[in-house]
């Protein structure tokens, strides 16, 4: 994912956790909040696996979200939290979950 779309500030994560709307699947949780520009943060906790597994899950989620950026509302910030079931998921399953969650939160543009 391009640097311009990354959510990096701790206070931004805290704000989205407190004020954001939540949608979830067995593999992924999505927090959404209105903002000035599109920013995305990906969180993978230690319950998902060791550092190699966590990095792989984070890369997969980031890549799948990067491909969806043209069809996502530019006026929202997102946090994508990976659950432990995400470690065994394929990229297609991650993509399906992200599309479902973005539609459910109303952040996916109509195509």
20-31 per-position pLDDT tens digit: 999 999 999 999
Domain count, the chain: 1
Provide the CATH number for the domain around residue 50.
Answer: 3.30.230.10
Task: Give the pLDDT band of residue 16 (cuts 50, 70, 90).
Answer: very high
Q: Does any domain span residue 44?
A: yes
* Residue-range definition of the domain harbouring residue 51: 3-105
CA atoms within 13 A on the CB side of 16: 28
29-82 per-position pLDDT tens digit: 999 999 999 999 999 999 999 999 999 999 999 999 999 999 998 999 999 999
pLDDT(111) > 70: no
Query: CA nearest 24: which of 91, 89, 90, 79?
Result: 79
Q: Does any domain span residue 110?
A: no
Q: Does any domain span residue 99?
A: yes
0.75 surpassed by pTM: yes
Q: Does any domain span residue 7?
A: yes
pLDDT of residue 99: 95
């Amino acid at each position: 994912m391009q640097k311009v779309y990354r959510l990096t500030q701790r206070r931004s994560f805290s704000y989205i956790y407190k004020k954001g709307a939540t949608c979830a699947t067995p593999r992924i949780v999505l927090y959404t909040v209105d903002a000035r520009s599109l920013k995305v943060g990906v969180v993978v906790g230690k319950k998902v696996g060791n550092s190699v597994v966590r990095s792989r899950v984070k890369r997969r989620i980031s890549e799948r979200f990067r491909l969806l950026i043209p069809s996502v509302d530019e006026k929202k910030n997102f946090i994508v939290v990976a659950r432990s079931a995400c470690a065994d998921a394929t990229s297609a399953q991650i993509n399906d979950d992200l599309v479902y969650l973005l539609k459910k939160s109303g952040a996916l543009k109509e195509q």
